[in-house]
Amino acid sequence: MSAEPVRVAVVGIGWWSDVLADAVKRGNSVEIVTCFTRSEEKRKAFAVKYGCATSASYEEILKDPSIEAIINTTPNNVHLETTALAAAAGKHVFLDKPIANTVAEGLEIARVCEKHGVVLSLGYQRRRESHFRWIKKEIDAGRFGKLVQAEGNISRDRLGKIDLSSWRYQAEGMPGGVMLQIGIHYVDVLEFLMGPVKRVTGRSAQLVLPGDNPDVANLILEHENGAISNLTASYASASEYYMMNIYGKAASAYYDLFNGLRHLKQGDAKPTAIACENNDTIREEVDEFAACVRNKTKPETDGYWAARNLAVIKAGVRSAREGRSIDVVEMLNSGE
């Protein structure tokens, strides 16, 4: 017999809450029973769209023993407050990345969930894409040999397409700009494939978008195994684009949005195309969260992973500001 769906409340109604709710509806591991945001209009519209109730306050949700978990898409700067309240009430939490705006808050979120024995899962869907899973299996099997280098790019055109009043595009709400908002996905993928990052050199610029936050950024990532990665992120490009190349001494892999995945072994004259399914990554992470709640297991991207991943981004932000390379441990210790 399959497990009963995990009963959740969606908190912080915005465009990403709809993306997650759509993924919930594509599966059967989670049931959205209610929602809350300060705007009565928004929560009523969400309730109609997804067939759930509305709650008049967050406190009402926390006091309801029938609600097992929270899908939290509130702004970064209230992640600690909202998650700590949920954990104290015994509610498990699915939290969208980044875990917080500071490393200290990210670590505290991880600790408070651990203290109360609740599952905390972070939304890093990019690592679940089938091409990255294929590369990971090959690396783990030893067929890439020694990992030596990687390069990635994650770019979108946001000029005229965003609401600059949104916290997502302001320095206060998203310190670090484009690298914190979307570049962090590929920082996660690079650490997933290449191993932990120990030192970061960062540069950023504001070239196209109005406002007060970088729309172009670059990180040079020095991994603990000696490999070096280069990552660029942009909101100022002509179109949406993603690419990731992984170089090993025995084999390499090349992925981009338009050409898919190719694989080149040492000695081959040209790469071979690798067929990868277009998998439902967001549904997969929601299903994993539900399985962790039911089975009392640890999610792939937990709070401590996310806090350390954030430290890599914040090291890049400090590096760009101070003009020097920054050790990740420095950011973990400073809590910035």
* pLDDT tens-digit map of 21-75: 999 999 999 999 999 999 999 999 999 999 999 999 999 999 999 999 999 999 9
The CATH architecture of the domain made up of 6-125+283-301 is: 3-Layer(aba) Sandwich (3.40)
**Looking at domain 130-278, which of 3.30.360.10, 3.30.465.10, 1.10.1060.10, 3.40.220.10 is its CATH number?**
3.30.360.10
CB distance 131 to 106 below 8 Å: no
pLDDT for residue 2 is more than 80: no
- Looking at the chain, the whole-number percentage of residues with pLDDT higher than 90 is 89
Question: Domain map of the chain by residue range?
Answer: 6-125+283-301, 130-278
The tens digit of pLDDT for each residue in 109-147 reads 999 999 999 999 999 999 999 999 999 999 999 999 999
Q: How many CB atoms lie within 10 A of CB 267?
A: 7
> For residue 174, what pLDDT is reported?
77
CA dihedral 138, 141, 145, 148 (to 10 degrees): 60
CB distance 153 to 56 below 8 Å: no
What is the Cα Rg of the chain in Å?
20
Ordered strands of the 69-72 beta sheet: 53-54, 30-36, 6-11, 69-72, 92-96, 120-123
> For residue 1, what pLDDT is reported?
44
Sequence-distant (≥ 6) Cβ neighbours of residue 24 within 8 angstroms: 8, 30, 31, 32, 50, 71, 283, 286
Collapse the DSSP code of 278 into the 3-class scheme (helix H, G, I; strand E, B; otherwise coil) and give the result: coil
